[in-house]
Structure 1
Amino acid sequence: MKVAIVLNTSWNVYNFRMNLIKALQEQNHTVYVVAPVDDYTHKIKEAGCIFHPVKMDSRGANPIKDFALFLELRGIYKEIQPDIILHYTIKPNIYGTMAAASLKFPAINNVCGLGTVFLQKGIVSSIALLMYKIAFRFPKKVFFQNHHDYDLFIEKKLIKKGISDVIPGSGIDLTHFPPMAFQRNTPFTFLLISRLIHDKGVIEFINAVKQLKKSGLNARFQILGAKDPEHKRGIKTEIIDEWITSNTIEYLGTTNDVRFFIKNADCIVLPSYREGTPRTLLEAASSAKPIIATDVPGCNNVVENNYNGFLCELKNADDLALKMHNMSVLTDKEIETFGVNGRKKVEKEFSEQIVIDRYLKSIAEFNR
């Protein structure tokens, strides 16, 4: 079969979908990747995929650009003539699905997360709901990464129950993120791994850090992730620079391998407003690190309060500061137990192999 995989970045394909691609290739499927060109495109080609570049702006909605994306994807699909198309992320899910439907190609969609638009009500949110309702009449299967998003789509009648299912996010490669031997840093080290945008709770993290420093807590506070000031909800570069120069946080920049930074942290923090199933938390839990995250859809799938970490209130820097303080004063045994519990949880619920098997089973249904 010809299987097309459509995503908003080549980076995303390489970091999150390569094991699925390998599994498809092992079953003698020809894999086509449709994504924008970036530094990871050559790695996808080297892996034996047939690559088709596409222009795709993931920042916000622009009717002209989005219609152009629909036409471009339609042209690519017409050229490829795929047997099945796998869509990930918002724009491929909407415009890719419409393009596939116009040519009568079957599609399997993956709702990786609902994005900023669903965090606030308004005309943009209403339009997004309408676009989903139109597009999601056509896919043969839609995977959701948590039950909250699944329930929302069913409740708002954006999709039929019969074609919907829930999978454990993107899954995690348990061998790539093995449990790390327990160690406790002096001072205690907190690490936030995220793009620097408001919806990841970065401002709440900064305000919590300021509180903790004022109270005299002896700890290190780190941020690892890309600056994204052009994003609609991005944080301005000058604000981030002020955090750095004032020694509020240690900014670690970006990396191609987060394992070194996870290893050297005592606790991973993600005060996000909403997620699909956050990859950074899966990586942390798989590495046997305790976590602090917001009690919101996606995050509370991975973190069980007082089991493998703490859950804090949404947009509440005071509560986040309290949970960070409470984590820092736990005994070595308590912290190590949180880490062990997190690893058990991902082994049981979030193994990447679970996700791959569900995709292979669904794809096989189109090959009968």
Structure 2
Amino acid sequence: MRIAIVINTSWNIYNFRMSLVQALLQERHEVVAIAPPDAYSNYLIAAGCRYVPIQMENKGTSPLQDTLLVKRFYSIYKKVQPDIILQYTIKPNIYGTLAAKLAGIPTINNVSGLGTVFIVRNLVSKVALGLYRLAFRFPVKVFFQNHDDQALFVHYKLVKLCLTDVLPGSGIDTKKFVPAPVFSRNPAFTFLMIARVLYEKGVVEYVEASRIIKQKYPHVRCQLLGGLDEAGNIGIKKTTFMAWVTEGVMEYLGTTDDVAAVILKSDCVVLPSYREGTPKTLLEAAALGKPIIATNVPGCKETVIDGENGYLCEVRNATDLAAKMEQVYSLADDQLQQMGKASRRLAVTKFDEQFVIDKYLAVINTVATKAGKLK
């Protein structure tokens, strides 16, 4: 079968979906990657995909641009003629689905996170909900990354329950991501947050909590790894963020293609996000055997068994976040090690990527059988 995988960046496919791509290739399917061109597009070709570029703005809700995007999706889908399309992120999920319906091609959609659509209620979010309700009548399956997001879509009648299923996030390769062979605690205890520098990721709360911690324990290190993003009203201005860095509240690590290496050098991974699908970075941290502090919100709370592999903190509450950070810092070495081992067990038993791959292959085989294309 010819299977198209459609996401808003080639980077996203390469960093989050390559295990699924490789599994499809191993099943002797032809995989067509459809995404805007970036530095990772050639990596997809090298991995065995056929790559087809598409012009797509990740942000913005211009009716004219969105209509043109449906037209672009339709033109590509008719030209490529995939047997099934796997779609991720909001614009492929909505406009790609409408185009696929017009082209007569079945789709499997994945809601990997709700972003600002449910966090900020405004005219744009109302329009987005209406578009979801229109588009999500057509997929053969809609995967969610946590039960709360699934329930929310069903509650608002955006999708029928019978079309949905829940995945353990995007899964994690527990054979590739393994803990260090020997436990060690940094002389200067190190907290690490991995996220784009956005308000909704809880960066402000992390800065405030870091300030509280460092006033009490000056030697503690609080780091942030992730790209700056000043787009719209959701990104923190670079001047504001760099002022915090200059103040010494946190260390900014920029970006890297080797996130695992940075996680392994930390003692605890922190994510005070307002809402997530299921954060890949927390799955990586768990697989690498690190304690986790995350907000008690959909997507984040699934990665923490409170008191066992880390702590849950209140959302938008820097004081509570600081208290949880102090709890982890105060653990004896053996307790810290046990928390890390509990994270690793959770990754293996709940979030291994094979669970995700098996669910996708099952739906694809069902579609293939109905179309008479199963080999």
Please report the TM-score for the alignment, with normalisation by the length of structure 1: 0.98
Counterpart amino acid of residue 330 in structure 1: L
Indicate whether 1:254 and 2:255 are aligned: yes
* Unmatched segments (≥5 aa) in structure 1: none
Query: Conserved in 1, the CA contact under 8 Å of 2:172 and 2:283?
Result: yes
In structure 1, distance between residues paired with 2:105 and 2:83: 7
**Per-residue deviation at 1:121?**
2.1
In structure 2, distance between residues paired with 1:61 and 1:265: 39
Structure 1 window deviating more from structure 2 (177-186 vs 44-53): it is 177-186
Query: Number of aligned pairs?
Result: 368
Structure 2 partner of 1:45: 45
Structure 2 partner of 1:22: 22
Query: Conserved in 1, the CA contact under 8 Å of 2:223 and 2:250?
Result: yes
**Per-residue deviation at 1:123?**
1.8
In structure 1, distance between residues paired with 2:176 and 2:217: 37
Query: Conserved in 1, the CA contact under 8 Å of 2:190 and 2:223?
Result: yes
Cα displacement string for residues 319-338 of structure 1 (whole angstroms, at most 9, x for unaligned residues): 00111111101111111111
Identity %: 50
In structure 1, distance between residues paired with 2:66 and 2:233: 17
In structure 2, distance between residues paired with 1:360 and 1:216: 50
Counterpart amino acid of residue 130 in structure 2: L
Structure 1 partner of 2:373: none
Indicate whether 1:207 and 2:193 are aligned: no
Give the 5 Å matches for 1:350-361. 350-361=351-362
**Per-residue deviation at 1:232?**
3.3
Cα displacement string for residues 165-200 of structure 1 (whole angstroms, at most 9, x for unaligned residues): 001110001122112232101111000101001000
Structure 1 partner of 2:187: 186
In structure 1, distance between residues paired with 2:107 and 2:89: 14
Indicate whether 1:266 and 2:267 are aligned: yes
In structure 2, distance between residues paired with 1:300 and 1:92: 27
**Per-residue deviation at 1:250?**
0.8
Structure 2 partner of 1:290: 291
RMSD: 1.0
Structure 1 partner of 2:307: 306
**Per-residue deviation at 1:230?**
2.1
Structure 2 partner of 1:161: 161
3-state SS of 1:87 partner: strand
Counterpart amino acid of residue 200 in structure 2: D
**Per-residue deviation at 1:16?**
1.2
Structure 1 window deviating more from structure 2 (354-363 vs 60-69): it is 60-69
In structure 2, distance between residues paired with 1:43 and 1:327: 39
Query: Conserved in 2, the CA contact under 8 Å of 1:59 and 1:232?
Result: no
3-state SS of 1:157 partner: coil
3-state SS of 1:38 partner: coil
Structure 1 partner of 2:69: 69
In structure 2, distance between residues paired with 1:335 and 1:160: 43
Query: Conserved in 2, the CA contact under 8 Å of 1:60 and 1:232?
Result: no
Cα displacement string for residues 254-280 of structure 1 (whole angstroms, at most 9, x for unaligned residues): 000111111110000000000000011
* Runs of 4+ displaced beyond 3 Å: none
Indicate whether 1:90 and 2:90 are aligned: yes
